[in-house]
Amino acid sequence: MTIPCDILVFGGTGDLALHKLLPALYHLFRDNRLDPAVRVIALARRPLPRSDYLKLAERHCRAQIALRDFDEDVWRRFCARVDYFAMDATQSTDFVRLARYLGEPGGLMRVFYLATLPSLFAPIASHLHTAGLADSEARIVLEKPIGQSLSSATAINEAIGAVFEEQQVFRIDHYLGKETVQNLMALRFANALLEPVWRNGQVDHVQISVGETLGVENRGGYYDRAGAMRDMLQNHLLQLLCLVAMEPPAQFEAEAVRDEKVRILRALQPITGQDVQEKTVRGQYGAGHIGGQEVGAYYFEKDVDNDSDTETFVAIEAHIDNWRWAGVPFYLRTGKRMARRSSQIVIQFKPVPHALFEGGQVNQLLIQLQPEERISLRMMTKTPGKGMRLEPVDLDLNLAQVFSQTRRWEAYERLLLDVLEGDSTLFMRRDEVEAAWAWIDPILKGWEAHFQAPRTYPAGSNGPEQANSLLARHGRNWHG
């Protein structure tokens, strides 16, 4: 059953709206997941006629949607449900105009998607309330990052909470909509084989890495204020850590799942003061080569300060103070202009108690999120021939091949549908966001207090050498 609704996208001319949200809404419309009378309204300051916005939307959507999935008739019908409304989100009078344009809700649910800077979240919520648009049926979606620090995140949450009830608020992290990320819970909690070894007695360490070959592109102004810590690690990587480390919830239900994630965030061992020197590494890419092409240093990017000390790479050794994970390091790493685009989780198991055969052991579980979605269990096996010569072999599950007849949903499709259905399981709760910032803030302050400038690494590399030392001092290496 579809839900009659208006979907209003603030920041409707931005990259997120044009590259992700509109293609996701097109797919949902094509698959009859949206009500036929749905209205998708893009909101932005730029004065555009509706016809010009539709041309802009079509150009971007054709570039993002696979040719086999782009149906001309469906697109024509979808465009009939799309409109553009020029307004300034900082001006309360424009919200009065918006209210008149929308008319009476008449039983419609309104979804307000804030694809804007976090600094606009509070004013938009307040103006929606003043204009009478924030009724009890409305829902508001907030893009990451929620704030720049614990205090700013708390202020945003307070402002949103003054207008909307918590069950109306959906703080989105698109990583949680990825198929393989959700498979983490299936892998852990639906397979009896793994549960007995998913703990400190058998796990040596865990690595969570998200590498990008791209630079900051046209996000220099935002990124230079945020950096890799705020842009990626505080949300994406900590969310992955929570799913790897959390205890089984009593039931697969939003509050039960989010309760367990919050417990992990609160159990993270603080990294404060001089600990930042030992357990964290900052980096910033210099000039180098990506895919055979020469690329410039970070400080030459558009809208970036020439003397910027913003980190484009961060690596952290984290520990969780609980029974399951005491003594197991979690190594988190993310960076731009890396050697390859890859998001992966590595569970490295401890070696067998008695080394019966010569050679190293690489028993590990590799969960790859991108560019391919696959799960590999690497085990030692004997090679053919005389003697006991061992080599690692992968038991490989390629999800794209296994489900080749089923179109892979994009993360935003699933998450937008969850918003419409009121399912908060894959969204962050207020206390979850604030618990993450409570752990991140002391690291940021430690960098500032101890003048920890970013280490330069060449574009197209695996990051600064100091990140390798983070593991090497314990006899470990990064995977990939």
Distances from the Cα of 220 to the Cαs of 134, 180, 370, 463, in angstroms?
33, 30, 24, 20
CA angle 347, 353, 355 (to 5 degrees): 100
User: Does residue 156 contact residue 118 with C-beta atoms inside 8 Å?
Assistant: yes
Distances from the Cα of 440 to the Cαs of 269, 377, 418, 445, in angstroms?
11, 32, 28, 9
What residues act catalytically?
Answer: 236
356 CB-near residues (< 8 Å, 6+ apart): none
DSSP result, 59-125 = HHHHHHS-GGG--HHHHHHHHTTEEEEE--TT-HHHHHHHHHHH---TT-EEEEEE-S-GGGHHHHH
- CA 458 – CA 297 distance, rounded (Å): 8
Angle between helices 50-64 and 22-30 (to 10 degrees): 80
- Type and span of the H or E element at 23: helix 22-30
List the beta bridge partners of residue 378. Answer: 364, 394
User: Does residue 155 contact residue 147 with C-beta atoms inside 8 Å?
Assistant: yes
Nearest to 325 by CA among 267, 378, 374: 267
DSSP 10: E
User: Does residue 456 contact residue 169 with C-beta atoms inside 8 Å?
Assistant: no
Sign of the torsion formed by the C-alpha atoms of 302, 283, 343 and 321: negative
Q: Can you tell me whether residue 155 is helix, strand or coil?
A: helix
114 CB-near residues (< 8 Å, 6+ apart): 10, 11, 120, 121, 124, 140, 141, 142, 143
β 109-114/329-335 pair status = unpaired
Distances from the Cα of 110 to the Cαs of 103, 146, 324, in angstroms?
12, 22, 43
